[in-house]
Amino acid sequence: MSTPIDVELGREAYARRAWREAHEHLAIADEAEPLTTDDLELLATTAFMLGRDDEYLGVLERAHHAHLEAGETLPAVRNAIWIGRTQGVGVLTAEEATNHSLSGPMLRASGVDYDVRKDDPYLSYPDVPWKVVTDDHGDVFGRTLVRVGELVESTNIVRHCLENLPEGAIRIQPPRAAPKGEVLSRYEAPRGELVHFIRTNNTDKVERLDIRTPTLANWTSVAVSLVGQHLADIPVVVAAIDPCLSCTSRVTIVDREDRETKTMTWEELRAHGMRFYREKRGV
Amino acid sequence: MDVPLLVLYVVMFPGLLFLVGYAFLFQFLDRKIAARMQSRVGPPLIQPFADFVKMLAKETITPADVKRADFDWAPLLAFAAVATAFLYVPVVGPSPVAFQGDLILILYLLTLPSIALFVLGWLSRNVFATIGGVRAVTQLFIYEVPFFLALLAPAIMAGTWSVSEIVTWQASHPWFAVLQPIGFIVALIGLQAKLERTPFDIPEAETEIVAGPWTELTGRRLALMRLTMDVALVTGSGLVAALFLGGPLLPWALEPAWLASLAGFGLFLAKTLAILFVLTSLRIAMGRLRIDQLNDIGWKYLASAAILQVFVVLAMNAWWAP
């Protein structure tokens, strides 16, 4: 029974910053009986200090999983100022989130269990075991928790897929021309639901392509979540959408009465914004 | 002190010339330590000086509808104030220009950069600069009370209003950092807030209001204002080192006199650099607070702690005369 002694010796050597010694003791202890999460982190650090990067990453990953199994608050978001700046900031209730057609982590952070990969599965998602990450905070803090949780889920999905890779050709030759038809596809992108509409006409050119990016869906929620917040919260709330500004660099205005549609480009929007603030706010 | 020696003291060492050089070194160390803490390489030693020269050479743009003169004198006034304040900080021994009450003069002069920033922000006719300037003054009202109270406590215990005499008092007594640990911590936090460094960089929060009052500063005005903040960092560190860490005086006498001066100068460097290290670590370890959160922390905890320290000092003076 050398385990407790080796753990003690390892911790003691770690405190002295004797990395090699600490690493040896902890590794022996780990072989005899798997270490606890805190000791795993020590082992990872010693491996890093000795320049063994592969071992460092492997052990750190084990420590991370052990943390998750223990159901501990994610260390990444355990910071007083971070919590102070994000908790209760930009709150959206589940009802507001659904009313503004939010999608992705924004929606799930308000406690709505909706994910295209589960609710309208595509590709191999039905075959992979994974769970939808939701949170009931509804604020920027909750959105962070959801995103960090999804990182872990995504890693697990990738690992599961690699382990269960089916037989078959890796590369296939696509047909030269797409057959005539229309497709509307929905994907769960990191920012939320991404919708593509494609119409093809038996050539190698696409006849019509429409994209609805998740940022566009999430943007409008700012009108609700910013009410009653401080000026200093604006960057926090806006950044929590994880906005893809190049996805929203144009606006299509549909006038139902005149039966007209008009698209404003990025340059026009920019000029419009400057003119608006100069005239209305005297900036 | 003779007049020529005094002129040398004011202009060369440890006056203006040394001060500017040391301020550049401080900026370099601040950036280098921060870079190493974030696993970056960091700037070379000459970088702060190179930045300064480069900015001096750049075009100076005055915003429309702003009086040039006002925009020119505000950074100059701020720089002159903090450079003057440094004369009263003991560097190689007690300051030769010291008088009863120079502590209050230093505190007053150290407040002027914040006022200059407010004036600049207000004059800029730019929303970001205006908000930044207003925030700078709001922050001033929050940290100034605990900071002043914390620096008041050593003066009460030593029974003098002169920084140099407080340093002399500490040569025969324990340091005030030991006698008044609460005041020391409050003073360090107050200094960080005074220098508008993270987590108190609220007036120049670049993610929210571009650069706050600095937004419309260009060319030599920007160079001078940056230098002012570095000089304020040196002056503030020197002040805290003098009031709480015993300044440049050794508890025992050294012979000959030049050796004592050299040892004092070494102590000054060591103590100010130690304070810089603490301030830089704070800056890197934290994110920015919101002004209302700073208000809560400042008035609820910092001011209460500083008042508590003053009461403890009064009680100690009454029952335990050191």
| Max avg pLDDT among A46-60, B254-268, B280-294 | B280-294
Render pLDDT for B31-66 as a digit per residue (tens, 0 to 9).
999 998 888 888 999 999 999 999 999 988 888 878
Which pLDDT score is estimated for A77?
59
Cβ distance B291 to A81 less than 8 Å, yes or no, reads no
Which is nearest to B129 in space by CA: B63, B214, B218?
Answer: B214
Q: What is the pTM of this model?
A: 0.75
Ranking A58-62, A143-147, A238-242 by mean pLDDT, the lowest is: A58-62
User: How wide is the angle at C-alpha B263 spanned by C-alphas B262 and B267, nearest 5°?
Assistant: 120
What Rg do the C-alpha atoms of chain B give, in angstroms? 20
Which one is predicted more confidently, B10 or B50? B50
d(CA A100, CA A107): 10
Cβ distance B287 to A231 less than 8 Å, yes or no, reads no
pLDDT at residue B321 tops 70 = no
CA B140 to chain centre: 13
ipTM > 0.85 (yes/no) = no
Burial letters for A200-239: b for 16+ Cβ neighbours within 10 Å, e otherwise?
Answer: beeeeeeeeeeeebbbbbbbebbeebbeebeebbeebbbe
Which pLDDT score is estimated for A72?
59
Which bin fits B80, alpha (ψ -120 to 50), beta or left (φ > 0)? alpha
A71 touches chain B (CB under 8 A): no
Which one is predicted more confidently, B104 or A254? B104
Which pLDDT score is estimated for A14?
82
pLDDT at residue B210 tops 50 = yes
| pLDDT over 90, % of chain A | 2
Can you tell me whether residue B129 is helix, strand or coil?
helix
Residue A235 to chain B, least CA–CA distance (Å) = 6
Residue of A nearest to B201 (CA): A232
Distances (CA, A) of B65 to B118, B124, B125: 18, 9, 8
Which pLDDT score is estimated for A78?
65
- B128, B209, B290, B300, best to mutate vs chain A, most A CBs in 10 Å: B290
Q: Residue range B107-113: average pLDDT?
A: 91
Q: Could you tell me which residues come within 8 angstroms of residue A249 by beta carbon, excluding any fewer than 6 positions away?
A: A265, A266, A269
Burial of residue A172, with CB atoms counted within 10 A of its CB: 0-12 exposed, 13-18 middle, 19 or more buried: exposed
| pLDDT over 90, % of chain B | 28
At CB < 8 Å, which residues of chain B contact A?
A: 127, 131, 199, 202, 205, 207-209, 286-293
Which one is predicted more confidently, B320 or A119? A119
d(CA B78, CA B121): 14
Chain B residues touching A90 at Cβ < 8 A: none
Query: Per CATH, is A11-163 categorized as 1.10.240.10?
Result: no
Cβ distance A84 to B293 less than 8 Å, yes or no, reads yes
Which bin fits B255, alpha (ψ -120 to 50), beta or left (φ > 0)? beta
| pLDDT over 70, % of chain A | 93
- Binned at pLDDT 50, 70 and 90, residue A10 comes out as confident
User: Closest to A231 (Cβ–Cβ): which among B208, B288, B289?
Assistant: B208
Chain A residues touching B39 at Cβ < 8 A: none
Chain B residues touching A228 at Cβ < 8 A: none
For chain A, the domains span: 11-163, 175-212, 250-283
Chain A residues touching B289 at Cβ < 8 A: 81, 84-85
Q: Residue range A112-138: average pLDDT?
A: 86
Q: Do residues B262 and B93 lie in contact, with contact meaning Cβ atoms separated by under 8 Å?
A: no
pLDDT at residue A188 tops 70 = yes
Chain B residues touching A232 at Cβ < 8 A: 202, 205, 208, 288, 290-291
d(CA A154, CA A157): 5
Residue A51 to chain B, least CA–CA distance (Å) = 16
User: Closest to B286 (Cβ–Cβ): which among A81, A231, A233?
Assistant: A81
Render pLDDT for A55-102 as a digit per residue (tens, 0 to 9).
777 777 777 777 666 665 556 556 677 777 888 888 888 888 888 888
Render pLDDT for B59-72 as a digit per residue (tens, 0 to 9).
888 888 788 888 88
d(CA B199, CA B203): 11
Cβ distance A85 to B289 less than 8 Å, yes or no, reads yes
pLDDT at residue A124 tops 80 = yes
User: Closest to B127 (Cβ–Cβ): which among A82, A233, A283?
Assistant: A283
pLDDT at residue B283 tops 50 = yes
Cβ distance B287 to A81 less than 8 Å, yes or no, reads yes
pLDDT at residue A11 tops 90 = no
d(CA B138, CA B143): 9
Chain B residues touching A82 at Cβ < 8 A: 287
Which pLDDT score is estimated for B322?
53
